[in-house]
Amino acid sequence: MPAQVLCMSHGGLMNFPDLLSAEEDAEVAAEIAKARRAVADFAPDLVIKFGNDHNSGFSLKLMPAFLVALRARTLGDFGTTAKPLAVREDVARALVSHLHGAGVDVATSYDALFDHGIVMALDKLFDNAASVPVVPVFTNCGGDLRPPLRRSKALGRAIGVYLRDERPDLKVLFLGSGGLSHDPPLPTFVSAPPEVQRRMIEGTTWTEEALAVRTANVIAAGREHGRGEGPLQSLNPAWDTWLLDRFTAGDLAAIVRQSDAEVIAMGGRGGSEIRNWIAAFAAFGEYGRGLSHIEQRYYRALPSWITGFGLIRATTEAETGRG
């Protein structure tokens, strides 16, 4: 069956277009609308959603490197959907068994709570994110001691092989989100004071008031960053463009040669979210046996969103020929 891959940034401020200039907002909205129309035309039977969390549903009390959600719900932070997701539990269970057999260890959850790192892209691309048949694949991108980038590539490849060989009846959208250069106002564990470390370990009970306070703080940080002020690391369009060039060329090997420290130095703490792109492109490459066509590519540095905003969409040769 044909397949598509779509990777895009998922900054929490994406639901606040008033932070952008009118010209920025119109341009980004047009690109997202183009991707949304393409996804609607493709009408996937299944979405494999590669994403992460921002110390919202997951905490350092127990932080998996990788996790496949068998059942999941969403927090609703930053104006995103707050509902149970339509997880294809049958596919997720079979996928986990395959991954273990392929030497890729993943945790599982029957009650995963995800924030905008999983659901923002679903919200932007579908009319009802909660109705999309999905298998959420979580990677630790923000917590302490992240897995090396090459393991995200191995994870994605194993997922692509499973769907290609075992579920050829399904039209699949491999959807990754996060990054690109992105330094959100979140604490770093090793340098945080003891009381903040305790909160990162124990997690937070998210009330409406707590979510509103966090949203207001991030919006303020976005306005400050947009003025070129504040402590957050500047966006890095050169690194972002290099990444987009590598993804466009299918050159994941060059990307995964970067260490975690190199990624943070180049792209900020949120630059670590390129792991989701790596896994999505690796899965798509295995599924389509390396045959693909880039249908859409977009980039714009958006300091007020604290995001080097990128988007790439590609189809298999079968899908291109079918159109």
Let me know if 62 is exposed, middle or buried by CB neighbors in 10 A (0-12, 13-18, 19+). exposed
Residue of 54, 98, 100, 116 marked active site? 116
Residue of 10, 54, 182, 225 marked active site? 182
Taken in order 181, 159, 66, 81, is the CA torsion positive or negative? positive
Is 182 considered catalytic here?
A: yes
Q: Residue 312 pairs with which residues in a beta bridge? A: 7, 297
Is 98 considered catalytic here?
A: no
Bridge-based pairing state of the strands 3-8 and 307-316: antiparallel
Q: How far apart are CA 117 and CA 167, in angstroms?
A: 26
SS (H, E, C) 247-304: HHHCCHHHHHCCCHHHHHHHHCHHHHHHHHHHHHHHHHHHHCCCCEEEEEEEEEEEHH
Q: Residue 8 pairs with which residues in a beta bridge? A: 177, 311
Q: How far apart are CA 217 and CA 210, in angstroms?
A: 11
The residues assigned a catalytic role are 116, 182
